[in-house]
């Protein structure tokens, strides 16, 4: 945990008390405006999305490690941002938390900018957040391995003896991600 998770933080954006997305929980995602606009990266805050591509185009993230002339947030997947690693993720989160803070006037006191960078979630469409080329999955528990084994080999041979001694992995299909 760091200062961006401080329960005393308050955002200038109205956030319902039961919201999953207060200023302490700023999840990254990929979205597009319904009816127009390419997919790009944003952060949920309350029932809105903060358009990080617009902020990046305005120079807000110039000091983040790994950011350069090529856009990071004006993309249809989080892959380029994820590749920058934790120092960049942490810095962006700190910067966004600061921008959304009730005590920070940058967006709070600029209605034209707020209208451009804060979009109602009801007017956007969410997308798969990353391009998945391939992955390996593991049987996560004895029950998982037994259930799959029952489907493939029947109940009498459900759990192979080696499962108790080494992790069993299988090739996952990226097309199975939703």
Q: Is 156 exposed, middle or buried (0-12, 13-18, 19+ CB in 10 A)?
A: exposed
Nearest Cα to 55, choosing from 43, 65, 37, 46?
A: 43
> CA 78, 80, 86 angle in degrees (round to 5)?
85
Nearest Cα to 91, choosing from 57, 60, 133?
A: 60
| Residues belonging to the active site | 144
- How many Å separate Cα 105 from the centre of its chain? 26
Q: How many Cα atoms sit within 13 Å of 151 on the Cβ side? A: 5
Nearest Cα to 127, choosing from 25, 42, 2?
A: 42
- Cβ–Cβ contacts within 10 Å for residue 59, how many? 9
Both tokens of 157, joined, read 């041979």
């Amino acid at each position: 945990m760091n200062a961006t998770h401080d329960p005393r933080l308050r955002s200038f954006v109205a956030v319902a008390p039961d919201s999953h997305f207060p200023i302490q929980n700023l999840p990254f995602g990929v979205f597009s405006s319904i009816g127009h606009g390419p997919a790009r990266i944003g952060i949920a805050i309350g029932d809105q999305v903060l358009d990080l591509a617009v902020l990046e185009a305005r120079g807000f993230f110039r000091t983040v490690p790994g950011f350069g002339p090529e856009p990071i947030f004006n993309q249809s997947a989080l892959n380029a941002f994820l590749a920058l690693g934790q120092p960049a993720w942490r810095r962006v989160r700190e910067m966004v938390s600061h921008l959304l803070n009730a005590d920070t006037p940058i967006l709070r006191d600029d209605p034209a900018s707020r209208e451009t960078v804060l979009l109602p979630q009801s007017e956007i469409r969410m997308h798969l957040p990353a391009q998945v080329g391939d992955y390996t999955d593991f049987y996560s528990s004895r029950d998982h391995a037994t259930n799959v084994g029952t489907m493939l080999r029947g109940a009498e041979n459900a759990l192979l003896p080696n499962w108790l001694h080494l992790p069993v992995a299988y090739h996952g299909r990226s097309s199975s991600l939703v």
